Chain A
Amino acid sequence: MSEWWTYRAEDFLLFSPRVYWRLFELHNAALWPLHLLTLAAGVIIILLIAWRPGTGARWLALILAIVWIFVGWSFLWQRYATINWAAAYIAPAFFVEGVLLIIAFLRDGLAFDRRGPAGWIGYLILGLSLAGAPLLAPLQGRGWASSEVFGIAPDPTVIATLGVLLLARGRLLPVLLPIPVLWCLLSGITLSTMGEPQAWAPYAALGLAAAAWIWTTIRQHGLLPTG
């Protein structure tokens, strides 16, 4: 692309906010009442982490793998790509994340014994993505029809995964993190370019996650008093 420095984020926005939110309306209408099942899966994830961090961890990775692949196929590939050709290139990344989570499931590669501030922030992000994300649409006057729900829409699915990864330890973490982080950045940029106030949601999730990881890293290197 020549003279790339003259381009702004607006130049890459191919659709209007109305068309974007209509995607969620149509998607929700087509999939209802699957939302109840995906939300139940989200609650099961929280319960597994809280009460069965050892034996339940691998099943949690499998649940996340299924919703990543489903959202990548059903929303990004089938719907979003009809108005944004770039989504056709992003959908495979959701599939890749799903495969990585399946590997985490098969290898039992995540442990959920993290406590302290990082853990609590993880629970906070997870809770907000499940219970708070669906409220954003009606709170901004778009009604319930275009609500974004975990396991159905990408943002709450990805943000919930960030929360889960904050609560986890394991050698697979470095490969599981990049795609959710990049999606949050991309979604935040898209929403802010559309002038949508809820751009703060993916940005806030990223900010909270970064703060938690920095805190944990400093603690692990003994740079803070352990008191």
Chain B
Amino acid sequence: MRTTRRTFVQAALAATAATVLLPISLRAQAGPPARRPIPSTREEIPIVGLGTWITFNVGDDPVLRDECAGVMAAFFEAGGRMIDSSPMYGSSQPVIGYGLQKLGHPAVLFAAEKVWTSSAAGGPAQIEQSRRFWAVPKFDLVQVHNLLAWKPHLQMLFQMKAAGALRYVGITTSEGRRHDLLEQIMRSEPIDFVQFSYNVVDREAEARLLPLASERGIAVIVNRPFRQGALTQRLQGKPLPEWAAELGASSWAQLMLKFILAHPAVTVAIPATSRVDHVRENLSAAAGPLPDPAMRQRISAHVKAL
């Protein structure tokens, strides 16, 4: 009975996603997204994930919850695995849980969560609450959000990892904050993942964090790849350069995503979206060719000049 319902829901969501109007070129080039290994285990993971900041915070709204489930269905259908959230993101966690239940809990899910509390003692209870929202047996990755109470939380996460209660440990920041401390932690703590902001105009991470991640064997998750939509909005209506076609990029979002993904130290970028066509577009960017260093410079210079 359960299998039948799951199959039905998956088929229905797939059919819904398929009806979304996409450019023909996008459909044509869509294949499985490229994968990169997580350095600490060599487990390979698709290089585009799904962020949920703002986009999945839809409360109890049944219409919007179904839309989010549709985005998740399209994400998994296109070969995505990592979904990232946080207790800070309002109702995003129960909305993810709703989507996972509706989709029959896809086995490919790579569940990335965060602990976000100034109370060292409150960390385990918060993680357990998050797990219940997602309704998963355990998280693949738990990160210390925005370096909040990072010392006790990291120790707690290392203990959970040793006990088999999670698979990877990470730490996050965003918008270029506290990179000095992040660097110090990357040098001194045996973390598996680090997450920070990096995009075509915010390139501070190239100087120290990205090379250090390579050197220390730490997987990199890139957040805010479009500056929370500000970059795509700024470029809206501006013509894409002709040379973007060489990379198979048919939109500014794809071009900017390819810029990020082409950095060898980047493991996964996690653009957030509430639209099925955008999630497919994002994963499609990971399926085609990626720019070489010279082309990356060209992309960055071009966007900055606009």
Contacts and interface: CB of A to CB of B under 8 A. Distances in A.
Interface of A: 2-3, 6, 10-11, 13-16, 18-19, 22-23, 26, 79, 82-85
Interface of B: 54-55, 57-61, 63-64, 88-91, 147, 175, 177-178, 228, 274
A83 B58 contact: yes
Given A19-B57, A19-B58, A83-B91, 6 more contacts: A6-B177, A13-B54, A14-B57, A15-B57, A22-B58, A26-B60
Contacts of A22: 58, 61, 63-64
B178 A2 contact: yes
A2 B89 CA distance: 19
B58 A3 contact: no
Question: SS class of chain B's interface: helix, strand, loop or mixed?
Answer: loop
Contacts of B60: 26, 79, 82
A15 B64 contact: no
Given A6-B175, A13-B54, A16-B54, A26 B61 contact: yes
B103 to A, nearest CB: 21
Given A2-B178, A14-B90, A16-B274, A23 B59 contact: yes
Nearest to A19: B58
B236 to A, nearest CB: 15
A82 B59 contact: yes
29 contacts: A2-B178, A3-B177, A3-B178, A6-B175, A11-B175, A14-B54, A14-B57, A14-B88, A14-B89, A14-B90, A15-B57, A15-B58, A16-B55, A16-B274, A18-B64, A19-B57, A19-B64, A22-B58, A23-B59, A23-B61, A26-B61, A79-B59, A82-B59, A82-B60, A82-B90, A82-B91, A83-B58, A84-B90, A85-B90
B256 to A, nearest CB: 19
Nearest to B92: A14
B245 to A, nearest CB: 32
Contacts of A11: 175
Of A3, A14, A84, most B-chain CB atoms within 10 Å:
A14
Nearest to B59: A82
Contacts of A3: 177-178
A19 B61 contact: yes
Nearest to A85: B90
A83 B59 CA distance: 5
A83 B57 contact: yes
